[in-house]
């Protein structure tokens, strides 16, 4: 489905993509033409006027040539003004969502994405959207600067703490596309990945309806949330160390804390570590977990605790 992109650009999967690419290729070909022209002339003249034995003639200075000077001022001026106008128009377009755009709230934290829908659904890592409909993202960060980037949509915008920024797009084909964080934001920056899942309108509505617990057990729902809420980014479930301690065998273990004391990892400890992560820091790990999980609904917290309990040895 769709094109696979070119050597320079990934496939085009949004309405903006073609316009951004035209601008890119305009700048690209101008650069190629000037590069070849300037370097070509330089090589040609270096060869043509090379020093020959027996020739000691020093050329006369060239007289002023007004037309040439005007040309190298006016032509580049026209070109850069053209690039500016083109780019500025595209920038404005990217910032002005149509009034009927579907609103989604984006929260960035080190180092994960979270997407919240008008019906209360909140999900990490995966941004689900309908095809052929304008989607408006209102974005903010819980900590440092991040930047939201979907190459296939040619959409990129900074995500700041204490301030909302917004961007919009209209996906033109069903499929899955990468989300990158494109502002260096610390140790986990390169792992701050996500996916846009573009559905048909009907599939999207079905997904939105079924995005809660449904008939899953708390353990099963907790496992889904473990991925959706990005716990997976820092906490493994197979014993391997990450940014944070592994969850494998956590329940019932005696955790060695940074202040030298230890604590039995029971339900209360696990719940508190989710909602108030900096209260007790496990020895050997940085206090890197955001406090944002305190806002999860109670049944989701219960499900996460149940899932972590199920990972006991």
Give me the residues that bind ligand CUA (CB under 6 A), please. Answer: 108, 111, 146, 181, 183-185, 189, 192
For the CB of residue 190, give the shortest distance to ligand CUA in the complex, in Å: 8
Crossing angle of helices 218-228/298-310, nearest 10°? 100
Between 187 and 295, CB nearer to ligand CUA: 187
Between 186 and 241, CB nearer to ligand CUA: 186
Burial 169-195 (b: 16+ CB within 10 A, else e): bbbbbbbebebbbbbebeebbeebebe
Between 159 and 250, CB nearer to ligand CUA: 159
For the CB of residue 146, give the shortest distance to ligand CUA in the complex, in Å: 3
For the CB of residue 110, give the shortest distance to ligand CUA in the complex, in Å: 7
For the CB of residue 143, give the shortest distance to ligand CUA in the complex, in Å: 9
Taking residue 208's Cβ as centre, other Cβ atoms within 10 Å add up to: 16
DSSP string, 194-238: EEEEEE-HHHHHHHHHT-S-TT--HHHHHHHHHHHTTHHHH--SS
- Token pair for residue 112? 């994960």
CB 139 within 8 A of CB 165: yes
Element (H, E) at 264: strand 262-264
Between 122 and 230, CB nearer to ligand CUA: 230
Between 111 and 269, CB nearer to ligand CUA: 111
For the CB of residue 106, give the shortest distance to ligand CUA in the complex, in Å: 12
């Amino acid at each position: 489905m769709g094109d696979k992109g070119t050597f320079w650009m990934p496939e085009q999967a949004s309405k903006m993509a073609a316009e951004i690419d035209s601008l890119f290729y305009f700048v690209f070909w101008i650069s190629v033409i000037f590069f070849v022209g300037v370097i070509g002339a330089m090589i040609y003249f270096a060869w043509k006027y090379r020093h020959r034995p027996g020739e000691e003639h020093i050329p006369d200075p060239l007289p002023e040539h007004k037309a040439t000077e005007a040309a190298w001022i006016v032509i580049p001026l026209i070109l850069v003004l053209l690039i500016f106008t083109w780019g500025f128009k595209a920038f404005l377009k990217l910032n002005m969502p149509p009034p009927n755009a579907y609103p989604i709230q984006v929260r960035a934290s080190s180092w994960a994405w979270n997407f919240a829908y008008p019906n209360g659904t909140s999900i990490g890592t995966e941004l689900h959207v309908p095809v052929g409909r304008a989607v408006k993202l209102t974005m903010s960060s819980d900590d440092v600067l991040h930047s939201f980037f979907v190459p296939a949509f040619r959409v990129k915008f900074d995500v700041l703490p204490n301030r909302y920024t917004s961007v919009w797009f209209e996906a033109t084909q069903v499929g899955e596309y990468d989300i990158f964080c494109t502002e260096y934001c610390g140790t986990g920056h390169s792992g701050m990945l996500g996916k846009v899942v573009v559905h048909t309108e009907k599939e999207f509505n079905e997904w939105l309806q079924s995005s809660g617990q449904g008939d899953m057990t708390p353990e099963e729902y907790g496992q889904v949330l473990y991925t959706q809420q990005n716990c997976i980014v820092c906490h493994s479930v197979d014993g391997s160390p990450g940014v944070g301690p592994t969850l494998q065998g956590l329940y019932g273990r005696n955790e060695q804390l940074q202040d030298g004391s230890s604590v039995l990892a029971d339900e209360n400890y696990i719940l508190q570590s989710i909602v108030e992560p900096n209260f007790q820091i496990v020895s050997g790990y940085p206090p890197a977990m955001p406090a944002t999980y305190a806002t999860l609904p109670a049944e989701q917290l219960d499900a996460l605790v149940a899932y972590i309990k199920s990972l006991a040895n």
